[in-house]
Amino acid sequence: MLKEAEQTGEAILFVRGLVEDKEHLTSYLTNITFKSFLKGDELAEAFAESEIVVCRSGYSTIMDLAALNKKAVLIPTPGQTEQEYLADYFQEKKIFLKNEQGSLNLKEAADSISLYSGVFLRNDFTHLKERISSL
């Protein structure tokens, strides 16, 4: 999986989500940076700068993706039925790509992501104005 990333030349940030005093992973690939944990503002910045986010399919994460208008590959935590349901739902609706833990192929995901729309929230409130005026 990570070897494919080097072939694409894209910069990759891998955040493990583990609060630790020091980083334990190092990369032999120059375009991949590993972090055990990022603070909220650092994680928000990483999301904002990312073209594609590979993440768990929890409700809060999906709301973050929607707020930032990001495309994503969702990887549900095995045994977490809500995450599995959400990942299946969004894949079926062609919103987010779903992959099972342990089977992610970055090249295939990058090639397939254009088939998925992501969630794009309208922030101009035009839809609310239209709805109110029709009452």
Q: What percent of the chain has pLDDT over 90?
A: 33
Q: What is the largest CA-CA distance in the chain?
A: 61
pLDDT at 5 over 60: no
Question: What's the 3-state SS for 53-109?
Answer: EEECCCHHHHHHHHHCCCEEEECCCCCCHHHHHHHHHHHHCCCCEECCCCCCCHHHH
- pLDDT bracket for residue 4 (50, 70, 90): very low
Residue in 68, 98, 66 with CA at minimum distance from that of residue 83: 98
pTM for the model stands at 0.74
Tokens coding 25: 């992973």
The fold of the 38-133 domain, in CATH, is Rossmann fold (3.40.50)
Where are the chain's structural domains? 38-133
59, 89 in Cβ contact below 8 A? no
Question: Which of 22-26, 67-71, 124-128 is the most confident on average?
Answer: 67-71
Look up tokens 């833990």; give the residue. 101
The predicted model gives 53-74 an average pLDDT of 90
Closest Cα partner for 32 from 3, 61, 65?
3
Cα 98 from Cα 106, distance rounded (Å): 12
Would you state the pLDDT for residue 38?
A: 86
Of residues 116, 82, 106, the one with CA closest to residue 14? 106
